[in-house]
Structure 1
Amino acid sequence: MNLFGFVECANKTQSLKALFDLLVSSASEEGFTEIVYGALTFAEPLRLAGCPPPLVAMKVPPDWCQRYLERKYYTIDPVVRRTPMFAGPFLWDELAKEYRLQACEQRVLQEAREAGLKNGVGVPLFGPPGRISVVSFASRFDDADPRTNVRRLKALAWHFHIAFEEIAKPSDCTSDGKVSLSEREKDCLRWVAEGKSSWEIGKILSVSENTVNFHVKNAIRKLGTANRTSGLVKAIRLGLIEFTEPALATPMVA
């Protein structure tokens, strides 16, 4: 399933299980069959059965799942602990290079590899107010390449995350979900989707860089998101700008 198909299906589901199954199916096509989604800095009321906080949904080998939960590895897992320190996707194998991991953290990574979770990549997800979540992808295969697939995995994670937030929204929420963006705000977001910087967008639209930043910040505020990436994904989900797969395949500036 391509990204366009994933977005179309994600927009139609109102079930966390169905949405997570969709994410697993899409990531598996790239060889990343093992996935964990966690809410790190807040209590998420909606989660799959058997997932204690901060876990929300997980698909890993059963034996590893049992050990991870019984030993409460989520309290010492370096992927969970270190996610807030990253602004973008990171490789599990690079955690030891970036930080002096504790022995217990190293043990979790080693046991995860032995259980079949290899070539892992974490995608930090930021939302207001100060909310941090993460989607972790791993593969059973030695030759899976997270570097080659990181852009697609990042896009899948953000689309999943935004769709999940809509499903998890309290039923008594007074907001009707309607957002109105100006044409200039939409233009700026479309070029953000193409990976353009504010300076480049300004040149394209014949406005100043400060003007571009003004419109992008306004759009982010209206959408209730924390940064350009999450704002862009939500604008696409709400149908405020068109989704084109080539655009989402390029890097998105956070």
Structure 2
Amino acid sequence: MNLFSFVECASQTQSLKALFDLLVSCASEEGFTEIAYGALTFLEPLRLPGCPPPLVAMKAPPDWCQRYLERKYYTVDPVVRRTPMFAGPFLWDELAKAHQLQACEQRVLQEAKEAGLKNGVSVPLFGPLGQISVISFASCFDDADPQANVRRLKVLAWHFHIAFAEIAKPSDCASNGKVSLSEREKDCLRWVAEGKSSWEIGKILNVSENTVNFHVKNAMRKLGTASRTHGLVKAIRLGLIEFTEPALTKPMVA
């Protein structure tokens, strides 16, 4: 299942298990078959059976899952502990370089690798009121390249995160109003999807960098998001801007 198919199917499911299965299927296309999703700073009302907080859903080799849960490794897992310190995706191999890990943290990473979770990468997901979640991807293949796939995995993680939020929220929390973006705000988000900086978008649209930042921040405020990526994914999910698979690889017309 490719990213476009994931977006289409995720918008139609109301089951956490079905949504998580979609995530596993799509990430597997990139060689990352082992996945965990956790809510680090708040308690989710919905989680898969057998997943204690902060875990919401987990797919890994059965022996590793059993050991991870029985020994309560989630209390010392460096990914769980260190995610709030990262602004964007990070490789597990970078953890030891960026932070002085405790012996128990190093043991979790080493045992995970021995259990078949290799080339791990985690994507921090930031929400309102300081909420922090994380999705971790790992591969059972030695030659998997998380760095080459990090952009797609990041977009996939955000799509899953927003789709999950729609499933998990109480029915009485549904929004009564519709988000409306201006054409210029949509233009800016489309170019954000291409990985363009505010300066580059300004040159393309023939406006100043400050004007681009103004429109992007307005869009984020309307969407209730704390980052450009979150805003972009939510706008796509709400149908405010069109998502197509080629958009990830070639320029769009503003």
Q: What TM-score comes out, normalization by structure 1 length?
A: 0.95
- Quick one: distance in 2 between partners of 1:151 and 1:6? 16
Query: What is the match of residue 16 of structure 2?
Result: 16
Preserved contact between residue 151 and residue 249 of structure 1 (Cα < 8 Å): no
Q: Secondary structure at the match of 1:207?
A: coil
Q: Secondary structure at the match of 2:19?
A: helix
**Offset from partner CA, 1:88-133 (integer Å, 9 cap, x none):** 1111112111111000000001111111111111111111121111
Alignment length, in residue pairs?
250
Structure-2 change in CA distance of 1:8 and 1:174 (3 Å):
closer
Q: Mark the runs of 5 or more structure 2 residues left unpaired by the alignment.
A: none
Percent identity over paired residues:
88
Does structure 1 residue 7 correspond to structure 2 residue 10?
Answer: no
- Quick one: distance in 2 between partners of 1:244 and 1:233? 12
Query: What is the match of residue 30 of structure 1?
Result: 30
One-letter amino acid of the counterpart of residue 37, structure 1: Y
Query: What is the match of residue 235 of structure 1?
Result: 235
Q: What TM-score comes out, normalization by structure 2 length?
A: 0.95
- Quick one: distance in 1 between partners of 2:143 and 2:43? 36
Q: Secondary structure at the match of 1:24?
A: helix
- Quick one: distance in 2 between partners of 1:54 and 1:42? 8
One-letter amino acid of the counterpart of residue 245, structure 1: E
Q: Secondary structure at the match of 2:173?
A: coil
Does structure 1 residue 197 correspond to structure 2 residue 197?
Answer: yes
- Quick one: distance in 2 between partners of 1:124 and 1:72? 21
Q: Aligned runs of 1:73-112 on 2, under 5 Å?
A: 73-112=73-112
Q: Secondary structure at the match of 1:88?
A: coil
Query: What is the match of residue 139 of structure 2?
Result: 139
- Quick one: distance in 2 between partners of 1:212 and 1:145? 33
- Quick one: distance in 1 between partners of 2:219 and 2:9? 25
Q: Secondary structure at the match of 1:32?
A: coil
Q: Secondary structure at the match of 2:56?
A: strand
Alignment root-mean-square deviation, CA: 1.3
**Offset from partner CA, 1:135-162 (integer Å, 9 cap, x none):** 0001111111111211111111111111
> Which structure 1 residue ranges, 4+ long, deviate > 4 Å from structure 2?
none
- Quick one: distance in 1 between partners of 2:72 and 2:128? 28
Moved more, 177-186 or 133-142: 177-186
Preserved contact between residue 155 and residue 248 of structure 1 (Cα < 8 Å): no
Q: Mark the runs of 5 or more structure 1 residues left unpaired by the alignment.
A: none
